[in-house]
Amino acid sequence: MKKTLTLLLLSIALVANSYGHALWIETSTKGQKGVSQKVKIFFGEYASKETDSTAKWFSNLKDFKLLLTGPNGNTQELSPTANVLYYEATFTPKEEGHYTLSIVHHVKDLYENAKIDYYALANVFVGKATINNALRNDLALSIQPSKPVFGISQDNPHLVKLNHTPFKNKKITVVGPDQKSETQETNARGVLNFIPKQKGIYFLEAFYEEEKKGTYEGKNYEKVWHVVTYTNEII
């Protein structure tokens, strides 16, 4: 009986751990024309700063593709290399404007009969830039700021979308540089206006469970977990 209970608790912990994990991108929000820009990709628990070793990333997660969309709308795939706790890539902005880094990854293995889709986003602004990049069509769940915000501001709106429509009145997780996690809510237009209180990286995460049955990689699933992250650096 004791062994059965231990196995049950371990199983629950593993499911909770998989559910709580996320994929995210970190880079400097401000870039410079002609200067190499570093980009890091992590997987783990952001709020507790528990990042999984790249050697132990589960399923097919290491096969993610990192895309860069430039001010002219052209997209290119970057080639990250593995470090101990993250993957790293670089790119050099050739012109001023808005650059978007994005990942869309479908996890091969199922968890609790759920298919997991991870999305990660980050922006880089070079010179006098405005938000002018359309998000890629395969982002089922997305977070995008309405304007560049570099410093502490009372006006920091972010539009959250599900299947390209506003994610209305939904809970979003916001983690500040102090690692304190809080839950905020989008309004009736799908807008989240969080107010940064100090300098550092802010992490936003949205989750949606879709009741949908299908087959992926030869396995039947009953639902889809959509998890999107967005990071924004306040300088």
Q: For residue range 178-207, what is the model confidence (pLDDT) as tens digits?
A: 989 999 999 999 999 988 888 999 999 999
Q: Which two tokens stand for residue 126?
A: 């070079």
160-171 average pLDDT score: 97
| Domain 2-234, CATH | 2.60.40.10
pLDDT value of residue 1: 45
How is the chain split into domains, by residue range?
2-234
Cα dihedral 195, 126, 44, 81 in deg (nearest 10):
-170
pLDDT value of residue 54: 97
Q: pTM score, two decimals? A: 0.90
Q: Got the DSSP string for 136-176?
A: PTT-SEEEEESS---S--S--EEEEEETTEE-TT-EEEEE-
* Cα distance between residue 120 and residue 146, in whole Å: 17
* Cα distance between residue 207 and residue 166, in whole Å: 14
Q: Picking from 77-81, 131-135, 160-164, 197-201, which range would have the lowest pLDDT averaged per residue?
A: 131-135
pLDDT at 7 over 80: no
* Cα distance between residue 104 and residue 18, in whole Å: 17
pLDDT value of residue 148: 86
Side-chain half-sphere CA neighbours of 180 within 13 A: 6
Short-list 160, 134, 143, 145, CA closest to 29: 145
